[in-house]
Homo-oligomer: A and B are copies of this chain.
Amino acid sequence: MTQPNLLPRSRTISRFHSVRSATAELIQGLSAEDMVIQSMPDVSPTKWHLAHTTWFFETFVLEPFASNHRPYDPAFGYLFNSYYELVGRRHPRPQRGLLSRPPLEDVLEYRRVVDEATMRLVEDAPESIWPDLRTRIILGLHHEQQHQELLLMDVKHVLSSNPTKPAYRETPEPSSAQPKPLEWFRFEGGVWSFGHEGEGFCFDNELPRHERMVADVELADRLVTNAEFSAFIRDGGYRRPELWLSDGWAWVQEAGIEAPLYWGPEEDGSVSEYTLGGPVPLDPSSPVVHVSFYEADAYARWAGARLPTEFEWERAARHAPVEGNLLESRRIHPRPVPGGEGVRQLFGDVWELTQSPYMAYPGFRPLQGALGEYNGKFMANQFVLRGGSCATPASHIRATYRNFFYPHQRWAFQGFRLARDP
């Protein structure tokens, strides 16, 4: 998909250092104790993320490409494999929170050693293997960036599970912009091309680029806000079955859902929201975040609208600049839509829930070998999200990027935008 051999190795080295050190920066302010906890099966401990992303380089870069490589620690292959069945047996996911050993310092040393070995490999590799090696390293760096966001999602869940509700770090004062009335923008239907093209990196699930017919659609110019979602709640939204998909209604009943994850109970007419900066009063103009597909779908039905398909979203985003409230803004929380015209907030703030089940594109081919498990085997029961969030690195996101979660999950930084048939 790329022509990597035209690029100097130094650029790869530089990107490698940049991404790996960005991960290390994220643990500033966390104690070793914070980094060992798994607050639910979906969550992984911070320390596990640090080790697993390193295991990825060891397993998929050093092992196949570095002829003299010897495993750093044979136990690590078992402990830090996430879900690659073809690589071998692995520690059960729900038990990642039992790993006080190896201690944090060993994991950091593991990172250091694998980093060094990888950089040595980049410098010494014969030209014949460089293109493949480079491709694999770039994949490892995108994998690492995915885990930067997962790490933040998981830290948020871990700290929020503590009754004392500690902050992860100081974040910028939340803004207090006035919510703007929502506007609709129309997109013409027809046969259009979707999926990745060009030389840049993409995951296998963004390919092949293919044509697809979409209908005319109107998209909201911004994300749904806390104020709007609060109106849905006040109108009995969580108690009216006619607004919900059958599975969603069962979930609401069973799990006792009454508000987005991280919203506190209403006290004296006001609601607080747990953020990575600690609890803050709910900002009415900010996008609602940490709602499930079911909640977004019910809200849309209540509002007389619907969720967009992933293709309606991609068409709107195709020519938009990749900028917004991404990880680099260091807010780690969505912010109100900025002023301006047209469809905004496409990138950053929150992953946008779509009504599209996560399925293969026509002619999809997974990667060869164990890396074929990366994306393809999850193509059932999940829904596509688009656009990245306030926890997504800017260099990681693009218009064709497909994220996916189960319809009841909501610990990702995810929200939604409305669509409607013209």
Does A338 sit within 8 A of B, measured CB to CB?
no
* Given A191-B213, A211-B213, A215-B363, A379-B245 contact (CB < 8 Å): yes
Does A158 sit within 8 A of B, measured CB to CB?
yes
| Nearest B residue (CB) for A102 | B164
* Given A34-B101, A162-B101, A212-B215 contact (CB < 8 Å): no
Does A247 sit within 8 A of B, measured CB to CB?
yes
Partner of A83, one of B35, B246, B357: B246
Partner of A161, one of B98, B103, B215, B241: B98
Does A72 sit within 8 A of B, measured CB to CB?
no
Binary contact track A244-257/B, C-beta < 8 Å → 1, others 0: 11111100000000
For residue A190, give the distance in angstroms from its CB to the closest CB of chain B.
Answer: 10
A86 to B241, CA, bound (A): 8
Does A150 sit within 8 A of B, measured CB to CB?
no
Partner of A75, one of B37, B101, B163, B372: B163
Instruction: Determine if A33 and B100 form an interchain contact, defined as CB atoms under 8 angstroms apart.
Output: yes
Instruction: Determine if B85 and A242 form an interchain contact, defined as CB atoms under 8 angstroms apart.
Output: yes
> Please, which residues of chain B bring their CB within 8 A of the CB of A132?
none
Partner of A357, one of B85, B101, B162, B359: B359
* Given A100-B33, A377-B244, A78-B163 contact (CB < 8 Å): yes
A211 to B189, CA, bound (A): 11
For residue A237, give the distance in angstroms from its CB to the closest CB of chain B.
Answer: 14
Task: Categorize the interface residue count of chain A.
Answer: 35 or more
Binary contact track A121-135/B, C-beta < 8 Å → 1, others 0: 000000000000000
Instruction: Determine if B247 and A100 form an interchain contact, defined as CB atoms under 8 angstroms apart.
Output: no
For residue A42, give the distance in angstroms from its CB to the closest CB of chain B.
Answer: 14
Does A32 sit within 8 A of B, measured CB to CB?
yes
Number of copies: 4
A78 to B164, CA, bound (A): 10
Instruction: Determine if B247 and A381 form an interchain contact, defined as CB atoms under 8 angstroms apart.
Output: yes
* Given A246-B83, A359-B355, A363-B215, A36-B377 contact (CB < 8 Å): no
Instruction: Determine if B100 and A249 form an interchain contact, defined as CB atoms under 8 angstroms apart.
Output: no
* Given A248-B380, A363-B421, A162-B99 contact (CB < 8 Å): yes
For window 85-112 of A, CB contacts with B under 8 Å fall at: 85-86, 91, 95, 97-104
Instruction: Determine if B31 and A100 form an interchain contact, defined as CB atoms under 8 angstroms apart.
Output: yes
> Please, which residues of chain B bring their CB within 8 A of the CB of A246?
83, 377-378, 380
> Please, which residues of chain B bring their CB within 8 A of the CB of A118?
none
Binary contact track A65-94/B, C-beta < 8 Å → 1, others 0: 000000000010011000101100001000
Does A39 sit within 8 A of B, measured CB to CB?
yes
Does A260 sit within 8 A of B, measured CB to CB?
no
A378 to B245, CA, bound (A): 6
